[in-house]
Structure 1
Amino acid sequence: MGEPTSGSGPCTAHRQHDADQDQKPGTIAGHDRPPSASFRAHGLAPNHDRLRRGSLSRTVTLRLQFPSGSATVSAQQRRVKDHRQQHTPAGGCLRVTLTSTQAPYLSVIVPAYNEAHRLPPTLQHIATHLTQRRLAYEILVVDDGSLDGTAREVESAALRIPQIRLIRLPNNMGKGAAVRHGMQTARGLLQLFTDADGATPIEEFSHLEQALEAGADLAIGSRALASRQPGYTVQARWLRSALGTTFNGMVQRLGLPLADTQCGFKLFRRSVAQDLFAVTCVNGYAFDLEVLYVAQRRGYRIAEVPVNWADQPGSKVRVWRDGFTMLQELLEIRRREAEGFYHPRSRELLQPIEPALASIEPSHP
């Protein structure tokens, strides 16, 4: 993803926080919040047995490790099985076609700026894996004003993968803006954003998915946790790693007890994503931090999950320049918090999506 034309702009997207979320805290202070009605209706209520087996900290972080090959059949897995039976033809070949009124199980948001070369294999890999899992999904590629033919590559991929949708921004607004537009447009019950270079393989989605099943409201991939544990691979340039460590030290001053806020692999329940991205404003790389800070302030349960990650050739991140911009954005976040900007009822409510800024193109006529 490219750098933003301006680190953070005026926030033009807001949505009223649900009244019950204003009154009921999450589990930060040891209070329990019941699963939302929408997730009960879709068979996605938390698995409390698994939640008890995990470890819930006294602040905000839910750090869970899940053994591979678990034999537990969850309500979520039963729902996937039911959906599979309803959409698999007699020949056994899965081909899910969603109408405009049907919500897919998963939306994958991929922000892209000048990613014509790296994006196509990433899209193919995502589609292959999710199809093998027999999930109903959509892939939303947000072209952040690319100049290299990224949109053409997405349109070409959509001819082979009908689940792909293209969102085009008129100019390079920044990764945060691209992810925000994708999240506000997505229809999935779960919403994942991932980087165009495939630095975190899509196979790691299942670990974040299990964290939500265990009761988290959002789950974030963590390179820092992975680097401390055997069995994970984290390949990063030393300078980028050093910058991340320095930035995370400053993040701790915000009271976020997270080891890695910047990994580009995060999963949200839809209602949570719609709430958070309606009030966040940062357009640059520090948007992750803003989202997580607001999530903590609103009492959402955050699971930090170790994931495999590898720095890819052609990265758009410029360590010194982007690092300085992120520090400026961090100061802006602190200023907005001091002014009560993130309080759910502190500002006049505006439209949650900016239709004039993005044109949404279907993959097929």
Structure 2
Amino acid sequence: MTVMSKSVVLAREPADATPPGTTGPESGSARLVEVVIPVHNEERVLERSVRRVHAYLAEGLPYRFRITIADNASTDGTWQVATALERRLAHVRAVHLDLKGRGRALRHVWSRSDADVVSYMDVDLSTGLDAFLPLVAPLMSGHSDLAIGSRLHRGSMVVRGPKREFVSRTYNTLLHVTMAARFSDAQCGFKAGRTDVVKALLAGVEDEAWFFDTELLLLAERSGLRVHEVPVDWVDDPDSRVDIVRTAVDDLRGMVRVLRRTLSGPAEVPVPPRKRPRITTGVRGQLSSFAVIGVCCTLAYLLLYLLLRQLTPPLAANALALLVTAVANTAANRRWTFGLTGPRDALRHQVEGGLAFVIGLVLSTATLALVRSAVPHASRSAELLALVGANVLASAARFLLMRVWVFNPRRTDRQLHGTPVPPEEHWND
């Protein structure tokens, strides 16, 4: 990881702005949002943009805010403009770095922030500011971990040339195909995150320039975090000095590096937990969902068995049909009976759910063997009837295993965070 220059100059820390009409720590304004505007040689637009952002936040944001101008190695009058704004606006501060790089500037400010939520936006304000409150609100509520503006969202209104449109869509398509990314727009300069989560992620992010955003988002997804997307109104800045070709090449190099690291080992970092939703409580509600899923899986199992029975001996047909439906059964119960979503622990749940498959396989195999031993020329109907009985017994064992072991919230929470779930969030026994 690149080490920042030791000659970083930090300006004084000003008071943070409080929205008019809100007082006291009990109000919503007690929460603090830090808005970082990274700049490099932007003396012409900096003052106008900062004043516009300040006016919007002071009027429309129900939280305290701080605007931080992060000047990374400007060679024009950007730093002078930034310090002048700091003097004139009490809730603006200026930070100077001797080394260039948007990612470096964001890392420096975010890693030292005392705000509840950190964010950034490009100085050209191509993204409409009306999307800022929808960006940070899910983070303040604890619903999401990161939030991004997306120009590729169906609800977005975007004005830009065909060249930038092609490059953007191609890049994000590459991320989806090669990195299995689920977010739609990696490079829109309009992002925010819970500060505790962002600080944890920064330890695993290496890039200090334009790929910083993408690497942060990829790591967040690998770590099972929730990324909220906001449609934006976006107008291309005709004066943008971003070198598209060079940036694209650097991004491709970054993708190769991250992909290589991902293939060599787990690409995730320990992150603070988001407040866990209450899981469906009560054995009655869980049994109802489990029963519906069980009936569907049993019908699918019998259908698969009949199809495979045309091609293979009964024991092989039984094993294959049971394996397929056992995987589907575990996934469905994970989602609808026990209320768990996302990739975290999904593989472990399937492996542990495999014990139920083994129990079902033993019961059904023994049942078939008994039927064929007692009635050597038993009909397919007799085989199916016997398998239904074995499946009922296996289902009862599966439900008990899932409830007390595989999806037990006490065990899951202890493995994730080292502490048990509070008593009020346990299942009602």
Q: TM-score, normalised by structure 1?
A: 0.64
What's the counterpart of residue 258 of structure 1?
A: 183
What's the counterpart of residue 99 of structure 2?
A: 171
Structure 1: gaps spanning 5 or more residues: 1-9, 14-79, 88-95, 97-102, 346-365
Is residue 87 of structure 2 the alignment partner of residue 159 of structure 1?
A: yes
* Paired letter, 2:37: V
Per-residue deviation at 1:104? 5.6
* Paired letter, 2:126: A
Distance 2:129 2:238 in 1: 18
Q: 2:253 aligns with which of 316, 320, 328?
A: 328
In proportion to residue count, which structure has more helix?
2
* Paired letter, 1:220: I
Distance 1:334 1:83 in 2: 50
Is residue 236 of structure 2 the alignment partner of residue 314 of structure 1?
A: no
Q: 1:84 aligns with which of 22, 25, 31?
A: 22
Equivalenced residue count is 251
Is residue 173 of structure 2 the alignment partner of residue 249 of structure 1?
A: yes
What's the counterpart of residue 340 of structure 2?
A: none
Larger relative contact order (CA 8 Å, sep ≥ 6): 1
* Paired letter, 2:237: Q
Confirm or deny: 8 A CA contact 2:135 2:147 kept in the other structure.
yes
Cα 1:314/1:341, change in 2 over 3 Å:
farther
Q: 2:228 aligns with which of 300, 303, 306?
A: 303
| Structure 2 counterpart SS, 1:84 | coil
Is residue 144 of structure 2 the alignment partner of residue 216 of structure 1?
A: yes
| Structure 2 counterpart SS, 1:283 | coil
Cα 1:340/1:243, change in 2 over 3 Å:
same
Per-residue deviation at 1:86? 2.9
1:268-279 correspondence runs (5 A)? 268-279=193-204
Is residue 47 of structure 2 the alignment partner of residue 120 of structure 1?
A: yes
Cα 1:344/1:128, change in 2 over 3 Å:
same
Confirm or deny: 8 A CA contact 2:131 2:230 kept in the other structure.
no
Q: TM-score, normalised by structure 2?
A: 0.55
Confirm or deny: 8 A CA contact 1:104 1:187 kept in the other structure.
no
Distance 1:273 1:288 in 2: 11
Confirm or deny: 8 A CA contact 2:19 2:59 kept in the other structure.
no
Distance 1:207 1:165 in 2: 24
Per-residue deviation at 1:344? 3.1
Confirm or deny: 8 A CA contact 2:65 2:91 kept in the other structure.
yes
Is residue 123 of structure 2 the alignment partner of residue 196 of structure 1?
A: yes
Cα 1:82/1:339, change in 2 over 3 Å:
farther
Q: 1:149 aligns with which of 66, 77, 84?
A: 77
What's the counterpart of residue 183 of structure 1?
A: 110
Confirm or deny: 8 A CA contact 1:239 1:319 kept in the other structure.
no
Distance 1:153 1:303 in 2: 34
Cα displacement string for residues 19-58 of structure 1 (whole angstroms, at most 9, x for unaligned residues): xxxxxxxxxxxxxxxxxxxxxxxxxxxxxxxxxxxxxxxx
Distance 2:258 2:107 in 1: 16
| Structure 1 counterpart SS, 2:228 | strand
Confirm or deny: 8 A CA contact 1:220 1:263 kept in the other structure.
yes
Identical counterparts, % of pairs: 28
Distance 1:144 1:341 in 2: 32
Structure 2: gaps spanning 5 or more residues: 5-17, 271-429
